[in-house]
């Protein structure tokens, strides 16, 4: 039975890249809920997001749910990111495990300060303000099927708010991890954000209805003007497929040096190749990574430190991402700080 499940999951994941390219998806500017592409965990970001085949802890809820298992300790994770333009991203998660199967709950919020509403004709502030936020709350599970193979899935609720408009949706994640048993070489695959198209419901004429016929020539709400609430266009969400490989360059009792490589296929941009490495010496971690064929420079780096305490083992990680022309200085680039606790 387990062999059949493993075969089905593996065949499905191998077929997904073809399914994603089966019809001409829209490219830049045609996909909504872009916050779903924002990576979490300073460890992963410091390695250039080449993490699908590396992930082995609580941050697997984002990268590859198969990485949740095996785990022999419960974990808690919090992360904060400062983006340019005073945009902030928060992420939190917690897991429960029995050593073979791991369950997780998590939440992600992208938010920003209030902004002025500007009049179109006078092109000046009206005195009113608005804000925007995006949220995802989900559940994930990973299970060890053999001593080399694990798989996982996730389901999340999505919500995006823009001024007085809001949209709700959902999506699924699916992943697998295979350890060859030689030099800790692992192959990871993950499908993320597989879900229905989304559509905003806009009532510009405030008559309580939307998706009206803009050519019916009727004044449905009695305001003296012909209604123009035409049907809004559907938008896709950023479904992606990642295929990665990682392995040891060197490993000893006090540390290790690993490297990873990954191909990312997202429906609204060109494929990217991600390269990453992590070096551990005692309780200190040093990381670097690069994303090829990316919009900005693609370079990232980070460091971390592990602190054993009576409450549990804490991992404190920091990562820097070079935003290129999107940031005016080092301080204005993306900085991530994350904390994990195993207990």
The pLDDT of residue 165 is 78
Residue 222 lies in domain:
202-233
* 118 token code pair: 């500007």
Q: Name which of 62-66, 185-189, 211-215, 338-342 the model is least confident about.
A: 211-215
Pair 105, 139: CB distance under 8 Å: yes
Count of the separate structural domains present in the chain = 2
Domain of residue 74, CATH code = 2.40.160.60
Confidence check: pLDDT of 4 > 50: no
CA 271 to chain centre: 16
Domain co-membership, 193 together with 207 = no
Confidence check: pLDDT of 15 > 90: no
CA 55 to chain centre: 13
Domain co-membership, 215 together with 310 = no
Confidence check: pLDDT of 26 > 50: no
State the alpha helices, DSSP H only, in 189-336: none
The pLDDT of residue 1 is 46
Q: How far apart are CA 33 and CA 149, in angstroms?
A: 32
Pair 83, 321: CB distance under 8 Å: no
Radius of gyration of the chain (CA): 22
Domain co-membership, 315 together with 244 = yes
Mean pLDDT, the chain, rounded, equals 84
Burial string for 107-118 (b: 16+ CB within 10 Å, else e) reads: ebbbbeeeeeee
State how far the alpha carbon of 152 is from the alpha carbons of 10, 59, 101, 264, 281, in Å.
12, 13, 9, 19, 31
Q: What is the mean pLDDT of residues 153-181?
A: 92
Confidence check: pLDDT of 30 > 90: no
Domain co-membership, 40 together with 62 = yes
- The sign of the dihedral angle between the CA atoms of 180, 54, 314, 138 is negative
Strand partners, 244: 188, 262
Domain co-membership, 94 together with 155 = yes
Tell me the per-residue pLDDT of 275-312, one tens digit each, with 9 for 90 and over.
Answer: 999 999 999 999 999 998 876 668 999 999 999 999 99
Tell me the per-residue pLDDT of 93-115, one tens digit each, with 9 for 90 and over.
Answer: 999 998 889 999 999 999 987 77
Determine whether 298 is exposed, middle or buried from the number of CB atoms within 10 Å of its CB (0-12, 13-18, 19+): buried
Domain co-membership, 130 together with 79 = yes
Domain co-membership, 92 together with 218 = no
Q: E-strand spans in the chain? A: 75-83, 87-97, 101-112, 115-118, 125-130, 132-144, 149-162, 165-179, 186-194, 240-251, 255-266, 272-281, 284-292, 299-308, 313-321, 334-342
Domain co-membership, 181 together with 167 = yes
The pLDDT of residue 230 is 57
The pLDDT of residue 22 is 40
Domain co-membership, 111 together with 209 = no
Pair 212, 21: CB distance under 8 Å: no
The pLDDT of residue 24 is 41
Domain co-membership, 194 together with 210 = no
The pLDDT of residue 18 is 46
Domain co-membership, 182 together with 99 = yes
- The sign of the dihedral angle between the CA atoms of 60, 61, 66, 72 is positive
Specify the higher pLDDT residue, 212 or 195: 195
DSSP 85: G
The pLDDT of residue 5 is 43
* 153 token code pair: 């899935």
DSSP string spanning 28-74?
Answer: TT-B--GGGG----HHHHHTTT--TTT--STTHHHH-GGGG-S-SS-
* 56 token code pair: 């082995």
Tell me the whole-structure pTM to 2 decimals.
0.82
Domain co-membership, 131 together with 217 = no
């Amino acid at each position: 039975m387990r062999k059949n499940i493993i075969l089905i999951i593996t065949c499905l994941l191998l077929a997904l890249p073809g399914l994603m390219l089966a019809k001409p998806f829209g490219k830049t500017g045609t996909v909504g809920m872009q916050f779903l592409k924002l990576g979490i965990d300073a460890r992963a970001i410091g390695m250039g997001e080449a993490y699908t085949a590396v992930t082995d802890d609580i941050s697997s809820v984002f990268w590859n749910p198969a990485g949740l298992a095996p785990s022999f300790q419960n974990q808690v994770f919090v992360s904060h990111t400062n983006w340019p333009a005073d945009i902030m991203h928060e992420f939190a998660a917690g897991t429960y495990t029995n050593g073979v199967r791991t369950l997780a709950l998590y939440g992600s919020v992208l938010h920003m300060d209030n902004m002025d509403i500007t009049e179109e004709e006078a092109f000046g502030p009206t005195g009113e303000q608005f804000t925007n936020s995006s949220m995802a709350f989900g559940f994930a599970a990973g299970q060890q099927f053999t001593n080399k193979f694990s798989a996982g899935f996730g389901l999340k609720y999505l919500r995006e708010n823009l001024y007085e408009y809001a949209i709700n949706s959902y999506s699924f994640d699916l992943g697998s991890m295979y350890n060859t048993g030689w030099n800790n070489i692992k192959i990871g695959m993950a499908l993320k954000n597989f879900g229905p198209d989304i559509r905003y419901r806009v009532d510009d004429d405030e008559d309580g209805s939307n998706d009206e016929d803009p050519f019916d020539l009727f004044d449905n709400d009695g305001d003296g003007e012909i209604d123009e609430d035409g049907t809004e266009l559907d938008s896709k969400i950023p479904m992606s497929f990642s295929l990665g490989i990682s392995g040891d360059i060197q490993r000893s009792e006090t540390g290790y040096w690993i490297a990873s490589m990954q191909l990312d296929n997202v429906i609204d941009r060109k494929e990217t190749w991600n390269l990453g490495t992590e070096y551990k010496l005692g309780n200190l971690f040093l990381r670097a990574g690069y994303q090829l064929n990316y919009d900005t420079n693609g370079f990232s780096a980070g460091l971390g430190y592990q602190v054993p305490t009576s409450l549990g083992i804490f991992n404190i990680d920091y990562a820097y991402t070079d935003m290129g022309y999107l940031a005016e200085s080092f301080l204005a680039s993306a900085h991530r700080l994350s904390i994990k606790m195993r207990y």
